[in-house]
Amino acid sequence: MSALLSDTALIFGRYARQTLRSRLQMLFGVLMPLLYLLFFGPLLTDLPLSSQGSSWQVLVPGLLLQLALFGASFCGFGIIVEKQYGVVERMRVTPVSRLALLLGRVLRDALLFVLQSALLVGAALVMGLRAPLPGILIGFAFVAVLTVALASLSYTLAMRVSTPQAFGPVINALTMPSMLLSGLMLPMSLGPRWLDVLSHFMPFRYLVDAVRAAFVGAYASPAVLYGVLVALAFAALSVIFGTRAFRRAAA
């Protein structure tokens, strides 16, 4: 157990330093949600969104999860480059814990996206967001758990492909429908019945609903409960898959 912790800390430190070396890249992930906030957010302020709270309390939770969805899904790119340098195999021949090889990386990713989320919420407060602090913190926790899940899957896929060209299109094909069907931008309850029903098969929808509930202070609502259950189950499964990818050889 202590070996797992120290291995994880070692891998986390290595990749945290890697992130710190590329400051610009650190901020890049926050750009897209920030643009939505600036140029899309103001369109919603007077619309009847049929939910509690202001339009910002509907939009910002979506943007937080959008940040995690797109950011974490593309994490695998880094490991494709590292595989080509032989760094992954050089680590895999050592006795280091395979779980730590994954966890060290995804925890770095989770920390990075939570920091970006804080930046985004800061900007949103300037734009007019008002939300209770516990709700915002719950939002950050969802960003962290979703990142752990998606980054694990992203690394799993990246361990199986040999070029970025084979990786990018798959991720794009998966993230776009996920964004649209989870109601990240606007609540699905606004849509026609069939779309609302369809979106219930998209796991991220429960996370979005949970963070929206948290942003209006409904911490003990069923929405938050379902969100927590889906997020934790998804993260646990993804970490199991991801660890297996590091245990077995890549293509």
- Exposed (0-12), middle (13-18) or buried (19+): which is 141, by Cβ within 10 Å? middle
Tell the smallest beta-carbon distance from residue 150 to other proteins (Å). Answer: 24
> According to the binding rule CB under 8 A, does residue 7 interact with other proteins?
yes
Pure H helices in 86-132:
87-92, 98-127
Amino acid identity of residue 246, one-letter, is F
Contact 83, 162 (CB under 8 A): yes
68-107 binders of other proteins (CB under 8 A): 82, 84-87, 89-96
Q: Is 3 in the site for other proteins (CB under 8 A)?
A: yes
Q: Which C-beta is closer to other proteins: that of 24 or that of 126? A: 24
Closest CA to 12 of 137, 135, 97: 97
Question: By three-state DSSP, how is residue 228 classified?
Answer: helix
Q: How far is the CB of 12 from other proteins (least distance, A)?
A: 12
Q: How far is the CB of 8 from other proteins (least distance, A)?
A: 12
19 near other proteins, judged by CB under 8 A: no
Examine residue 162 and tell whether it contacts other proteins (CB under 8 A): yes
Which H or E element spans position 185? Answer: none
Footprint of other proteins on 192-251 (CB under 8 A): 248-249
Asked if 14 touches other proteins (CB under 8 A), the answer is yes
In the bound state with other proteins, the residue whose beta carbon lies nearer, of 39 and 85, is 85
Number of residues that bind other proteins (CB under 8 A): 24
Q: Are 85 and 183 in contact (CB under 8 A)?
A: no
Closest to 79 in 3D by CA, of 246, 231, 248: 246
* Residue 60 is a binding residue for other proteins (CB under 8 A): no
